[in-house]
A and B are shown apart, each in its own frame.
Chain A
Amino acid sequence: MTHLLEVENLEVKFALRFGDLTAIDDISFYLDKKEKLGIVGESGAGKSVTGFAIINLLSKPGYIAGGRIRFEGREINRLSAEALRQIRGNRISMIFQDPMMTLNPVLTIGTQMVETVQAHRRIGKAEARELALEKLRKVYIPSPEKRLDQYPHEMSGGMRQRIVIAIALLTDPALIIADEPTTALDVTIQAGIMELLTELCETEAMGLILITHDLAVVSQVTERIAVMYAGRIIETGYTTDIVTHPRHPYTIGLINSLPGTRQAGSRLEQIPGMMPNLTAIPEGCAFHPRCFLAADQCRRHRPELTAVSGGRHWAACHRLDQTLGHNHLHR
């Protein structure tokens, strides 16, 4: 069976004066139609770079140094610019954190939507406007006719993000990559946007890659998760498995450091230190200097992803035999 999206051994580097920096180091994952995958990690883990790499939007000096990206059965990382345009913004749409940065402040919503449709389809203006209205209704924008003639600044943050989603839907994409889509929004608005994205995956038969630092959001929305650390996927599998029985010490630390997993007022478990800089990724397991289980082999050999339960949960850690039962959530 072919998946909607297959990423195999992807490697992304940044060409700098003093040599190449590896930002993404040999990551693989897949996504099916109607499926929602969460890519989780802290700043600098490489999650956004992964999103950009999929649609080949890496800006210089970043480049894809290896691996394959297959989308709808076609290898898309070696396409010409013209062929890529058929896919990027068309079959694959991307949503970013700040809707004010995505929307053009000096054009009306209608102009921006018509422009987007016409960039990908030979279609008249009136017809494009009709399509825009239809998509605005899909994202539950009240009085969409009125909104088409308004400017982004006339709307609230949540409304703008809905408009951005409507624009992403204009070309009936098969895949949406959402990079921190609700980080700038309030919780009540966030809940609404997440609900909308979930619903759209179902009704429009789309796949969704949700890139975020927020484990709680990911755990409510996605079926599967990939946890990234220092450019690698260190744990992946079904969301319920990972949230209830995390096996990588980093994932365990991340979950335990969330306020809300422990009794109010008690000390939070903290992961010492911080994410390494790309210029100084530790030898062996990149997490070993911060790990409570680090042993000799962790300092020398890099662990690969290994199956921890029945082929649906993988973690990259030498000490997997020691990592059960450390999370507080289900103790």
Chain B
Amino acid sequence: MSLILIPIQLFLLVFVLFALSRVYLRFREGTITLRTFLFWSGIWVLAILGVLQPQFTTWIARKIGIGRGADAVIYTSLVLLFYLIYRTNVLLENLRHEITELTRKIALEQETRNKKQRTRSKKHGD
């Protein structure tokens, strides 16, 4: 492996290390679960491998029948991106649903309270 990095490698390496540090920090403060931590660490470690050893991606590409390593990277990334967007959409939809449930609960409880108050004030004759 040549130790002299071309500028794009250097830039990507710095960015990926930054991303990896974020993943670690979020995991340490408990924002993300172990599963999410492992998933993203895996992605970024693979990315480091691909940046430092571009032959590695070419090797994988050959194995699965794609000519160039860069193409293999782009295809996999696209599939992954689409899937993650879909997951995010589902998550958002669930979140919206939960907020509605909460809103509903608050509205119904408020009504029960109001009703109690009305009966009480009726009893006191005011």
A and B, one complex? no
**Which residues of A does B touch, CB under 8 Å?**
none
Interface residues of B (CB under 8 A from A): none
